[in-house]
Structure 1
Amino acid sequence: MIPAERQRTILTLLGNQEVISISELTHQLDVSHMTIRRDIAKLESDGRVMSVSGGVQLTETIHTELSHDVKINQHRNEKADIGFYAAQLIKPNTTVYLDAGTTTLEIAHQLNHRDDLLVITNDFAIACYLMNHSECSIYHTGGKVDKGNQSCVGQQATHILREMNIDLAFVSTSSWNQRGISTPSEEKVLVKKAIIASSRQSYLVSDSSKYGKVATFHAIDMECFDKVITDSEFPSSCIEDLNERGITVEVV
């Protein structure tokens, strides 16, 4: 059986059960452990499947994002840990971008004592928190308001980002895999691309629950990120793959 046939068979099997172990696949397809791992790596790079501990499952497709008010109550401990760790990476006198999101809001919560930063954001909750609790200089992008996400998107937000020189950007997402991050909103793609174009360094901050999900619009390739900051549930096999591609993964 050629690789393309094996990979189609793997997808068919996953259509009938949620998770399949590597051992089960080697038995059913009568090939080596290494061959199955190569097939999974190809399917994962195409965004079709995601690795889990000892096995593989289909990528989950999302068509809409949860609202800010819903997301803020999910995986709070993981987000807080990521936010604390990420904030320690911000050097003195830095221009920082905090992308819209509840994980990046946790980074903002760690900046109360900083008066040496210029923070740029498209997120209203982040801007409001920093206005009331920090001494940072703050720029909000403005633009079209995404009410559910409590942020700005579209061409106007993109325009100001392309006029800024950002030292370090913390980028959020609701869906990502080995290919990169994606979004159900085409207008968010413009903002994400502008962030990467304007930043010297870009870090993806996301808890592991977002991994293995894919949305309609691909936004940024993983190779555009210098670092990924996530939690301990992120699959070790995926860490190895990202490291081989020159992307550092920090598990907190």
Structure 2
Amino acid sequence: MPARPRLSQAAVEQRRQDVLRYVAGHEETRIADLADRFDVSLMTMHRDLDDLAARRLLRKVRGRAVAFPALTMETATRFREGSNLAAKAALCAAVAGRITPGSTVLVDDSTTLFPLAESLAGLDQLTVVTNSVGFAQRAGSAAGTDVTLLGGHYHSEFHSCTGPDVTRALSRIRADIALMSAAAVLEGRLFHPLREYAEVKEAMLASASTALLLVDHSKFGKTATYAYGTADAYQAVITDTSTPGAETAAIADMGVAVESVDPGEPAS
């Protein structure tokens, strides 16, 4: 039997993300069953699971792969930053041209915005204000960008800050534009599993002249514990072409512009 072609690192990572999603959907799965399902050797599956376990994305326990609790997987940065990367990059590329030199930009803790940091390089006298340590680290390396990290109660799982110190600081800021995402969207209503993060999003909206909502297809058709408004608080919603038509239609019916980006095609 001829040897299988060696996969690229990107293809290996995609398989590992698929394994992670499968385990999350089943709470726990035998490692042998995973090897059969993904048509790889038991040794390869062990390597995949060792990598995922080292990143604290799942646990290996006596021949089984075990998922973390659902709330942790919905919110913790380590789970979110590796998902739907092509869609996130396309959404950020679609809005990068709307950020002008000399402006003040609010960015929430959503990993959807992480690819935007690279686009900030070359924009002179740009001020970025964020509660996300991860985004601040990425944007801080761009020449000409001044980054303000909103300090408050630090959540290590989410690598970001919330609380009254954050919301008070936002009340004293007037930004040109806020770029934000949502954990869940159902028929134009926005939700987050954690109340304190919903409060930060509300404070950012109140502090910005213009706000854009960037949400990939995986967030639609879902709810979470805390509702914090609707999409009509934003000037536009940018999503990808895999988002269900009924969801985008509900937002359009609110009078909000909806822009759909194809992750397979770079934004102009």
If the length of structure 2 is used for normalisation, what is the TM-score? Answer: 0.68
Q: Which residue of 1 aligns with 2:220?
A: 211
- Aligned residue type for 1:113: G
Residue 260 of structure 2 corresponds to which residue in structure 1? 251
- Does the residue aligned with 2:86 lie in a helix, a strand or coil? helix
The match for 1:128 among 134, 137, 149 is: 137
1:68 paired residue among 70, 73, 77: 77
The residue aligned with 2:184 is 175
Cα shift at 1:187: 1.0
Task: Supply the distance in 1 between the matched residues of 2:251 and 2:224 (Cα, whole angstroms).
Answer: 20
Match for 2:126 among 105, 117, 132?
Answer: 117
Runs of at least 4 residues of structure 1 off by over 4 A?
Answer: none
- Alpha-carbon distance change, 186 to 237 in structure 1, aligned in 2, over 3 angstroms: closer
**Structure 1 63/125 Cα, relative in aligned 2: closer, same or farther at 3 Å?**
closer
- Name the structure, 1 or 2, with higher relative contact order (CA <8 Å, separation 6+): 1
Alpha-carbon displacement from aligned partner over 1:56-103 (angstroms, at most 9, x marks no partner): xxxxxx745332112111101110111111111212321111111211
Report the aligned-residue RMSD.
Answer: 1.5
1:155 and 1:190 in contact (8 A); partners too: no
Q: Distance in 2 between matches of 1:106 and 1:169?
A: 16
Alignment match, 1:227: 236
CA contact (8 A) 1:83 1:106 kept: yes
CA apart distance, 1:190? 1.5
Matched, 1:89 2:87: no
Counterparts of residues 163-202 of structure 1 (less than 5 Å): 163-202=172-211
Alignment deviations for residues 96-141 of structure 1 (CA, whole Å, 9 cap, x no partner): 1111121111111211121231111000011111222332111111
Residue in 2 that maps onto 1:143: 152
TM-score (norm 1): 0.72
Aligned counterparts of 2:111 and 2:187: Cα–Cα separation in 1: 22
Provide the C-alpha distance between the structure 2 equivalents of 1:238 and 1:76, rounded to a whole number of angstroms.
21
- Give the AA of the match of 1:203: L
Structure 1 residue runs without a partner (length 5+):
1-61
1:183, 1:218 within 8 Å by CA — same for their partners in 2?
A: yes
Pairs within 5 Å for 1:2-13: none
Q: How many residues align?
A: 191
**Structure 1 CA distance for aligned equivalents of residues 225 and 233 of structure 2:** 19
Contact 1:161 1:194 in 2 (8 A): yes
Aligned partners of 1:229, 1:82: CA distance in 2, in Å? 6
Identity %: 28
**SS at structure 2 position matched to 1:242:** helix
Q: 3-state SS of the aligned residue for 1:200? A: strand
Q: CA deviation at 1:179?
A: 4.0
Aligned with 1:237 (options 246, 253, 262)? 246
